[in-house]
A and B are shown apart, each in its own frame.
Chain A
C-alpha cells in the first residue's frame, strides 16, 4: 500500500553537517539537506560538486566522515545499500545494473530479497506498471529493451519495494523528449502519493519544470536553497557555477555554403561499437556550417563516424567526398591529410592513449603536421605542438609530459579538441564533445567549435544532448535504427518532430524526390 500523504513534519530525510574527504579533495563539506514528504527535491550542481558522493552516503555505498542522517525524525546509521532499502530508500543509478541475458521478471527478482515465485512477482510488476502508467513486459529479455525501457525496469524494481524516498541520478541523460515527459508524469504521481524524490541533475530546464525545491552544491558546499519554479535558468546557472555563464553567439548563415563534406553511401555493413549498420546515407555539410546529428546512442552513430573517418572504407571512392575529391576508398590517415579531423566520443583509450604523455598523444593525429621527418620523430616540434595546444585551449595539466590519464575529463577533452582544431581542418567530425563535462569546460568547447565554424570548417556534430544540438547546429538530422533523416534548418526544426524521429518514426527517405525537404534550406 502506498504511504498515506502526510504533510508537515517530521521531514522524510534530513542531513546535518555531512562531511566526506577523499585524499585529494573534500567532496562534501558540512552539507545540510532537508527533504519533505511528497516533495520533488532537486540536487543541482556541476560535475564534481559532490552530488554523487552525497547520494552514495545516503544510499549506504560510502560512509560520511562526520555529520548526522535523520530518517523521519530519527537518527539512523546507513551502513549498506540493503540498510537503505530496508528503511525505504530506493535509487535508480545513471548506469543501470541489469543482466541483459535475463528476463525483466528475473532481473527484478534478483534485487528483491527472498523472492522465489516469478509468477507472483510478474503479477505484482504488472500491477505497479499499470498503476503508474509504466508499460513493461516482465517476460521480455533485457537485451531487447531500449535504454528508456531499461530505465523503466529499474524504476519498477525500486517501486516494488515501496520506497518512501526515491533517488534518481541524472535520469534523463539517455531519454528522448517524449520519454522524459512520461518520466516526469510518473514522478509527479509518486510525489502525490507522498513519496519523496531526490532528483540529481545539472539540466536547469528540467529542474525548473519538475522540482519544488532545489539545493545547489558547488565545490562540496551548499550555496543555495531555492524554489526553482521562481528562478530563471540564468539565475540558477549563476548560482551553480558561481559566475554568469558565457554567452555563445551563432550568427545565422546568410546563404547556402559550398559543400566540403559530401556523402552518398548506399549500404554500410554493421560496424563500430554498437553493431548497427546504416542504409542510404546521403547528405552534405557545407563550409562554415554545423550539421547536428541527434539520436539515442546505439542507433548507428559509431558506424556513421567510422565510415566518415575512414576506419571503414567504402566500395566506391565516390561514397565520401572532401572538398569534391572522392575519398571513400581511402583510410584514416589519407583522409586526415586531406583536412579531416575527428573528435571521438571515448576520450581515454581512443582519442588519447591513457599511459602516454600529452606530447606523445599530440603525435597520435597531428603526425603529418611537421612532427615527423622521414619516419623519425622530432621531439622539439612535438613538445611545441603540445604546449601550443595546452596554452591555446587552457588545458589544466602538469605540462606536456603529464600522462593523459592524469587529466580530468574536461581538460583532456579540451586537449583533444584543441589537438584536432589546431590542424587547420576542412572537415571536423565531432561526437559527444561535452558529455560529462562541467558547464565551464563545455562552454569552452562549444565556443571553440563555433569559432571553427565561423572560419569555414564543415562540422558534423553527433550528440545525444538536444539542447547542445539546437544551440550549435545550423541544420539538424536524426539517426534512428541505422537510418538518417532528412536535415532540417534549425529555425524550422521543432523539438517535437525531432523527438518523434528519435523514437524511430522517421519520414520516408527511400524515394529521392522526398529528400526535397532537405533542399528547403538551399537557395
Chain B
C-alpha cells in the first residue's frame, strides 16, 4: 500500500492534467505524447532529461535524510544557490587554475557552502528551538538576494554588456560532456553515487537508525537517549551538502557561469520528489525521473503546442496534492455519516 500511493498519485495527475488540456481546447493524447514521449525521442532529449534528473535526485536524497527524522528542511533551493556561489566563486577566485584538482575542489566548496546555509537554521533550532520550516524557507530568499548582489556587483563581467552575469568559467572548471551531440554531463553519475551512498547510510548506519526512531516515535527516541540536537544537525547538513553539490553541477555543467537564476525551482520540486520516492534513495531516483519528464516535457509542450511553462508547476502541484490524498486514503476510510441513526434498525 505504501508504494501504491505514489503510483495512484501519478496516475491521477495525468488524468486530471488531460482533463485540463481538454478544457483548454487541446487534444489530450497529443499533449500527453509530447509530455511523456518527447523526453525519450532521441539521445539529445535523454541527455536533457538527465540534466534535470541529476539536481532533483541530489537535492531529494539529502532532504530525505532530514525528513525521515521529521527535520523539515524546505530551503534546499537556497542551499543549492549557496553551493553554486561557493563552487562557482571558487573557480572565479582562481581564474588561472587549470589543474584537474579544480573541479573536485569546487564540489567540496559547493557542499560546504550548502552546509553553511543549512547550519544557520540548525543552530537556531537547537539553540533557540526556532521552527526550521520558517528559517530554511526565509533563508532561501536571502540566498537569492545574495546571489543577485554578487552578480550585479563584484562578479559582474566586463565583457557581459552590463548583464548581471559573471565571466564564463574556465574550461577546467566545466564538467565534460559525456556523449557527442548531447549536453549529458557526469552530474547524473554523481547523483547515482550519492543515491547509493544515501541508501547505505539509511539502511546500515546507526545514526540513520536513530534518526528514523526520532521521526517515527519521538517518545521512544527520548527513552533510548537519542538526542534531538544531533538529528537536527545531521538532517539539515545532509540536505545542505547535497543541495550544494546540485548547485555546482548546474554552474559547472549546463550554465557555465554565475547568473541571477541558477535553478528553476529544483530545491522545491525535490521536496515533492522526496515524498513521492517514499524518502527512499531508490524511490527518489524513480520520482526524480518522473519530475524530470515534467520539466522536459513541459518545455517541449511550450515550444510545439504553445502551452505556458506554468504547466510544469501545475503538474508538480497536482502530483503533491494527489500524493497527500492517496496517503490519507491508504490509512483512513471515508465515512459519509458519523453514526447510524439509533432508532433505525431497531
Chain A interfacial positions (CB closer than 8 Å to B): 77, 79-80, 82-83, 309-311, 331-333, 336, 342, 344, 346, 349-356, 360, 363-365, 367, 372, 375-377
* B161 part of interface (Cβ distance < 8 Å): no
Cβ-closest chain A residue relative to B218: A349
**Beta-carbon contacts under 8 Å, B175-232 to A:** 204-207, 209, 212-213, 216-217, 219-220, 222-225, 227
Q: Which residues of A contact B217 (CB under 8 A)?
A: 349-350, 353-355
Select which of A79, A332, A349, A377 is within 8 A of B205 by beta carbon.
Answer: A377
Assuming the contacts A77-B346, A310-B225, asked whether A364 and B206 have C-beta atoms less than 8 A apart, the reply is no
Q: When the two chains form the complex, which single residue of A79, A331, A333, A351 contacts B220, counting CB atoms closer than 8 Å?
A: A351
Q: Are A349 and B225 in contact (CB under 8 A)?
A: no
Q: Which residues of B sit under 8 angstroms from A355, Cβ to Cβ? A: 216-217
Q: Are B342 and A363 in contact (CB under 8 A)?
A: no
Candidates A331, A352, A356; contact of B225 at CB < 8 Å? A331
B205 contacts across to A, CB distance below 8 A: 375-377
Complex-state Cα separation, A479 to B316, whole angstroms: 57
Contact B342 A350 (CB under 8 A): no
5 contacts between A and B (CB under 8 A): A346-B219, A360-B209, A367-B224, A375-B205, A375-B206
Closest 9 CB pairs of A and B: A332-B225, A80-B342, A333-B225, A350-B219, A353-B217, A372-B206, A364-B224, A349-B217, A353-B220
Would you list which residues of chain B between 295 and 346 have a CB under 8 Å from chain A?
Answer: 342-343, 345-346
User: Are A376 and B206 in contact (CB-based, < 8 A)?
Assistant: yes
Chain A residue with minimal CB distance to B210? A367
A143 CB → nearest B CB, Å:
23
Query: In the assembled complex, which residues on chain A have CB atoms less than 8 Å from the CB atom of B225?
Result: 310-311, 331-333, 336
- Could you tell me the distance in whole angstroms from the C-beta of B138 to the nearest C-beta in chain A? 32
Question: How far is the CB of A384 from the nearest CB of chain B, in Å?
Answer: 17
- Seed contacts A83-B342, A332-B225, A367-B224; 6 additional CB < 8 Å A-B pairs: A79-B342, A82-B342, A350-B220, A356-B216, A376-B204, A377-B205
Of chain B, the residue at the smallest CB distance from A354 is B217
Give the Cβ gap from B200 to chain A, nearest Cβ, in Å. 9
Contact across chains for A353 and B223 when beta carbons are under 8 A apart: no
Give chain A residues whose Cβ lies under 8 Å from the Cβ of B213.
353, 356, 364
Interface size class of B (residues with CB under 8 A): 20 to 34
Chain B residues with Cβ below 8 Å from A82 are 342
Report the Cα distance A80→B345, complex, angstroms. 11
Do A365 and B206 contact each other (CB < 8 Å), given the known contacts A83-B342, A350-B219, A353-B213?
A: no
CA distance A372 to B207 in the complex (A): 11
Query: Complex: how many Å from CA A372 to CA B208?
Result: 12
Contact assessment for B227 and A331 in the assembled complex, using a CB-CB cutoff below 8 Å: yes
Instruction: Give the chain A neighbours of B345 by CB distance below 8 A.
Output: 79
Q: Please report the C-alpha to C-alpha distance between residue A342 and residue B209 in the assembled complex, in whole angstroms.
A: 20
Question: A349, A352, A372: which has the most chain B beta carbons within 10 Å?
Answer: A349
* Alpha-carbon distance A367/B217, docked complex (angstroms): 17
- The smallest C-beta distance from B168 to any residue of chain A, in angstroms, reads 43
Residues of A within 8 A of B223 (CB): 309, 311, 332, 342, 344, 350-351, 364-365
Q: Would A377 and B219 count as touching, CB distance under 8 A?
A: no
Determine whether the beta carbon of A349 is less than 8 Å from that of B224.
no
User: Can you name the residue of chain B whose Cβ is closest to the Cβ of A376?
Assistant: B204
Kindly list chain B residues whose C-beta atoms are within 8 Å of the C-beta of A332. Answer: 222-225
Q: How far does the alpha carbon of A106 sit from the alpha carbon of B1 in the complex, in Å? A: 45
Contact partners of A356 in chain B: CB under 8 A: 212-213, 216
Contact partners of A354 in chain B: CB under 8 A: 216-217
Closest A residue, CB atoms, query B339: A80
Within the assembled complex, what's the spacing in Å between the Cα atoms of A344 and B219?
11
Residues of A near B219 (CB, < 8 A) are 346, 349-350
- Residues in A with CB closer than 8 Å to B227 are 331
Identity of the chain A residue whose Cβ is nearest the Cβ of B342 in the assembled complex: A80
Q: In the assembled complex, which residues on chain A have CB atoms less than 8 Å from the CB atom of B216?
A: 353-356
Q: Give chain A nearest CB distance to B116 CB in angstroms.
A: 24
| Chain B residue with the shortest CB-CB distance to A373 | B206
A352 to B213 Cα, complex, angstroms? 9
Judge whether A352 and B220 touch: CB under 8 Å.
Answer: yes
Measured CA separation A333–B219 after assembly (Å)? 15
Cα separation A83 to B345 with both chains bound (whole Å): 13
- Smallest CB gap from A83: residue in B: B342
Residue of B204, B219, B224, B346 contacting most chain A CB atoms (<10 Å)? B224
CA distance A79 to B346 in the complex (A): 7
Residue numbers in B under 8 Å from A353 (CB-CB): 213, 216-217, 220
Which B residues are CB-close (under 8 A) to A311? 222-223, 225
Shortest beta-carbon distance from A444 to chain B in Å: 23
Identity of the chain B residue whose Cβ is nearest the Cβ of A335 in the assembled complex: B225
B212: which A residues are within 8 A, CB to CB? 356
For residue A137, give the distance in angstroms from its CB to the closest CB of chain B. 34
How far is B222's CA from A311's CA once the two chains are assembled, in angstroms?
7
Q: Which residue of B lies closest to A63 (CB)?
A: B345
Q: With the chains together, A404 CA to B92 CA distance in Å? A: 55
A367 CA to B221 CA in the complex, in Å? 13
Give, as a whole number of angstroms, the nearest-CB distance from B236 to chain A: 19
Beta-carbon contact of A367 and B206 below 8 Å: yes
Residues of A within 8 A of B209 (CB): 360, 363, 377
Name which of B212, B216, B220, B346 has the most chain A CB atoms within 10 A of its CB. B220
Assembled-state Cα–Cα distance A309/B220 (Å): 13
Bound form: Cα–Cα A77–B345 in Å: 10
Question: CB distance B224 to A365 under 8 Å?
Answer: yes
Output the least CB separation between B107 and chain A (Å). 24
Of A77, A80, A351, A377, which contacts B206 at CB under 8 A? A377
Rounded to whole angstroms, the CA-CA distance of A360 and B203 in the bound complex is: 11
A354, A364, A365 — most chain B CB neighbours (10 Å): A364
Which residues on B sit within 8 Å (CB–CB) of A375?
A: 205-207
How far is A403 from B246 in the complex, measured between Cα atoms in Å? 37
Complex Cα distance, B28 from A332, in Å, reads 60
Q: Which residues of A contact B224 (CB under 8 A)?
A: 332-333, 364-365, 367
Give complex CA distance A236, B302 in Å: 81
What's the nearest-Cβ distance from chain A to residue B210, in Å? Answer: 9
Q: Considering the chains assembled together, what is the distance between the CA atoms of A342 and B225 in angstroms?
A: 11
CA distance A376 to B204 in the complex (A): 6
Alpha-carbon separation in the docked complex, A353 to B217 (Å): 6
Give the residues in chain B near A351, CB-CB below 8 Å: 220, 223
* Complex contact B206–A349 (CB within 8 A): no
Q: Given A310-B225, A372-B206, decide whether A364 and B220 contact each other with a Cβ distance below 8 A.
A: yes
How far in angstroms is the closest Cβ of chain B from A220? 25
Per the bound structure, the CA–CA distance linking A355 and B216 in Å amounts to: 7
Least distance between B66 CB and chain A CB atoms (Å): 18
Nearest A residue to B220 via CB reads: A353
Measured CB to CB, the closest approach of chain A to B201, in angstroms, equals: 10
- A309–B346 Cα distance when bound, in Å, is 55
| A127 vs chain B, min Cβ distance (A) | 30
Query: What residue of chain B has the Cβ atom nearest to residue A82's Cβ?
Result: B342
Q: A349 contacts B220, CB within 8 Å?
A: yes
Cβ of B343: which chain A residues have Cβ within 8 Å of it? 79
